[in-house]
Amino acid sequence: MKEKIPRVPTGIKGLDEMLGGGLLKKRHVLVTGGPGSGKTTFAMQFLYNGAEKFGDKGLFISLEEKSEKLVENLSQGFNWDLEKHLREGNIVITTVDKFDWDTLTDMLQSYVTRHKVRRVVIDPLTILRLNTRDTFEFRRKLIGLLGFLENLDCTVLLTSESQSLTREASTYTLEEFVVDGVIVLYNIPVRNERRRALEIVKMRGVAHSNNIYPFKITPKGIVVYQEEII
């Protein structure tokens, strides 16, 4: 049998247990959900825990929110000392103004190599898709980028916007087929409130939980409640 691939814990309570330890090192995972479902929070928590608990350097490529605003929102909502890690350079947030693949690839190559970055986030990938001529081109470039990051020893988390609250087979997007793993965040109206839930739809090479578990966004970040099944 081949040697086991090391795990990269997300540090998200409940989720690492669902994954049997964490994400697979050097693989890439897509976190998808509607607006406000918690994608950006999830992505930053992955980097924050990486820096805080595991000594991993993180790079956050923010294609939607300006970095000042991103930090402001996260500092308001959460008891994280994000500023400390930004100051110390353990986490770097960058925005790419020209959303093109070449700029992104050049930036990643020089930065990731120079700073030995271990965790990379692209939030949201959807923006890059809108800037690509057609789906064939998008697929080709995405596969190229992910392969390139794998060679640089990075574990990658991508986010994408989904349109519907519930999912039909027909709503799977191209990026979901390309990546190694897909985690879906739901924010579903139940009577007069919305309930959050999370599901691992796909995780190549991992014997993961197939249940849909509720989660909450708390001042400590996302917490998954594995003892409750929706």
Ligand X SMILES: Nc1ncnc2c1ncn2[C@@H]1O[C@H](COP(=O)(O)OP(=O)(O)O)[C@@H](O)[C@H]1O
Residues that bind ligand X (CB under 6 A): 33, 35-41, 77-78, 217-219
Q: What 3 state SS string does the chain have? A: CCCCCCEECCCCECHHHHHCCCEECCCEEEEEECCCCCHHHHHHHHHHHHHHHHCCCEEEEECCCCHHHHHHHHHHHCCCCHHHHHHCCCEEEECCCCCCHHHHHHHHHHHHHHHCCCEEEEECCHHHHHCCCCHHHHHHHHHHHHHHHHHCCCEEEEEEECCCCCCCHHHCCHHHHHCCEEEEEEEEEECCEEEEEEEEEEECCCCCCCCCEEEEEECCEEEECCCCCC
* Sole window of 36-44, 85-93, 96-104, 169-177 interacting with Mg ion (rule: CB under 5 A): 36-44
- For residue 77, the partner it binds in Mg ion, ligand X, none, with Cβ less than 5 to 8 A by kind, is ligand X
Nearest approach, Cβ of residue 64 and ligand X (Å): 8
Nearest approach, Cβ of residue 77 and Mg ion (Å): 12
- For residue 33, the partner it binds in ligand X, Mg ion, none, with Cβ less than 5 to 8 A by kind, is ligand X
Residue nearest ligand X, Cβ-based:
77
Nearest approach, Cβ of residue 38 and ligand X (Å): 4
CB atoms within 10 A of CB 68: 10
Q: 45 or 209: whose CB is closer to ligand X?
A: 45
Q: 19 or 185: whose CB is closer to ligand X?
A: 185
Nearest approach, Cβ of residue 137 and ligand X (Å): 26
Nearest approach, Cβ of residue 58 and Mg ion (Å): 16
Q: 35 or 189: whose CB is closer to ligand X?
A: 35
Q: 7 or 167: whose CB is closer to ligand X?
A: 167
Contact 179/122 with Cβ under 8 angstroms? no
Q: Exactly one of 10, 32, 37, 40 binds Mg ion (CB under 5 A); which one?
A: 40
Q: 40 or 49: whose CB is closer to Mg ion?
A: 40
Site for Mg ion, rule CB under 5 A: 39-40
